[in-house]
Amino acid sequence: MNFLKTFFASCLGALVAMALLLFIVIGLFATLGSEKQEVIGDNSVLHLKLENPISELELEDPIAELFPGAAEQSHGLLQIKEAIRHAKSDPKIKGIYLNTSHLMTGISSLQEIRDALIDFRTSGKWVVSYAHSYTEGAYYLATAADKIYMNPEGDLEFNGLATEVIFFKRLFDKLEIKPEIFRVGEFKSAVEPFMRENLSEENKLQLNSILNSIYSEMVHQISDARKIPYEKMMELSNKMTVRDAAGALSNGLVDSLYYDDQVKNELRGRLGIEKKKSVPLVRYSQYKRSYTSDMTSANEIAVIVADGEIMPGKADQGVVGSQTIVEEIRKARNNDKVKAIVLRINSPGGVFQAADMMWREIILATEQKPVIASMSDYAASGGYYLAMGCDTIVSRPTTITGSIGVFSVLFDLSHFMGNKLGITAEEVKTGEIGELYTVTRSLTDHEKDILQKQTDRIYETFTKKAADGRHMKVEDLKKIASGRVWTGVQAKDNGLADVIGGFDDAVKIAAGKAGIGEDYKLKFYPRPKPLLDKLMGGWEDESRMRAMQEQLGEYYPWYQQWERVKHYQGPQARMGIEFVVK
């Protein structure tokens, strides 16, 4: 009887789950199928409220579309730029209302949006920025506006950039975990958290150089926009003189202190409408559905987006899958309609062999048509490996690039497993060399020598190919390699990049080299997954994650960290530092 009860209860649960799934799928198709082009009224204002994470391309989330607020929808940098570009010539849009207090993106992405807003103003239209409080990144973006307002009781963060590196050596010592590290390059700092308790002098040097280069670029642009001398701006920042709204106003960083209703009155005045009427604000999510691309041409420029960590296999959100990118480049080079390729790179690197597979396909593509690299926030280590095969490298001033070096990490867990967990292991092997990538024992000196020589060989491959791509002597390339990280400006100066500019500049260079002038259309790849694939894949991943959480309980966060560290096994062309302006 108990068996029957359990059986029928399970069947009922499965039927309910299937019915719910069917309901959601029908609802999604009904919602998306009925979606029509938005109609924008005259005398409207584009409302840019960029509070969600910003990725290179916008990935439509069907769950977020059906249940607003259930999932965090990311904004696509390239789609935001397209919306601003379209609004510039749209007679129905009179101006842009930038309403952002903090941002979740990289510095170069902010520069791309900021440049687009400045270009928008060349049409004679206006940009007004307002926030209750401004973080450093949000304020930097706000200086693209012709007027900056903030709440009278708000705060403004203007105190420079900082980055923090977390070290795990003492933790590993306590747990009796021994990292076995193989690397080339004194600046290859991704492994420092496993082997040191503080920054090496080389790492301090490159971090200081990068932060100062990036911040100098930002402050110069803020200084020009606010017409405040650069030296005065740096003094305000170094001492954090400005901390609140009153200080921001008295030092000229903002134009007025307004409450929300006062800003809306300001917008009404600009539009010439009565105070009792609501401001006709058009959200970005609405506006992007109000138009279709005006690019209609037989000539195509394929934009292949490599956004995330480089790994073997298929691409996914946050993962540059070598199999997918190789297929996309191959299709683009063999397609006669594609006249040029722009490789948009936003990656700190990853697995060396995966990067090398994509590099080979890039080289083959350059033999048939122009291939231009457009660097975003990161094009470092494995990310630079992709760029160095292209005809021309276009970098933002604040792009983090270089990091030409190789490393791998193995973790000897034998003492941790034996002394802490009571687990032991014994290996049976046919020859002198056992399982090289193992965590259950220490490596022998001979095995360590094999892995270090492998790392040295890969470094020689990396530097030789980089030197060939940059038309430099290997010995000159090695002077700026050794794992050292550079900004885009520094990379241009030392020969690692060709042009300082953004995505639009890369497209223009590609069109020019292809000889097609302005007669082209852009198409972005990889194409989004089909709706049902995204739904089923998302639920499958969610189910797997929940099952693992239930099994591991309080140890699940450690499992997540271990999964991340496991990616470091095997030769890596990866940068271990992240720079984000919030």
Catalytic residue numbers?
Answer: 188, 381
Q: How many CB atoms lie within 10 A of CB 329?
A: 25
Joined tokens for residue 452: 């270090």
What is the dihedral sign for C-alpha 220, 226, 232, 236?
negative
Nearest to 134 by CA among 144, 121, 115, 148: 148
Q: How far is CA 520 from the centre of its chain?
A: 27
The answer to whether the CB of 451 falls within 8 A of the CB of 371 is no
What is the dihedral sign for C-alpha 501, 506, 507, 513?
positive
Distance, in Å, from the CA atom of 418 to the CA atom of 270, rounded to the nearest integer, reads 73
Q: Which parts of 314-431 fold into alpha helices (H)?
A: 322-334, 352-366, 382-387, 414-415
Is omega for the bond preceding 526 within 30 degrees of 0, making it cis?
yes
Report helix, strand or coil for 479: helix
Question: Which one-letter DSSP state was computed for residue 120?
Answer: H
Distance, in Å, from the CA atom of 507 to the CA atom of 43, rounded to the nearest integer, reads 32
Report CA Rg, the chain.
26
The answer to whether the CB of 381 falls within 8 A of the CB of 575 is yes
The answer to whether the CB of 491 falls within 8 A of the CB of 401 is yes
- Tokens 């080339």 belong to residue: 184
DSSP letters for 219-259: HHHHHHHHT--HHHHHHHHHTT---BHHHHHHTTSSSEE--
CA atoms within 13 A on the CB side of 574: 25
Q: What are phi and psi of 156, to 5 degrees?
A: -130, 125
The pairing of strands 349-351 and 572-574 is: antiparallel
Report helix, strand or coil for 319: strand
The answer to whether the CB of 380 falls within 8 A of the CB of 485 is yes
Nearest to 385 by CA among 334, 341, 351: 351
Q: How many CB atoms lie within 10 A of CB 419?
A: 11
Give the max Cα distance, the chain: 87
Q: Where are the beta strands (DSSP E) in 135-204?
A: 147-150, 178-184
Containing 525, the helix (H) or strand (E) segment is strand 521-525
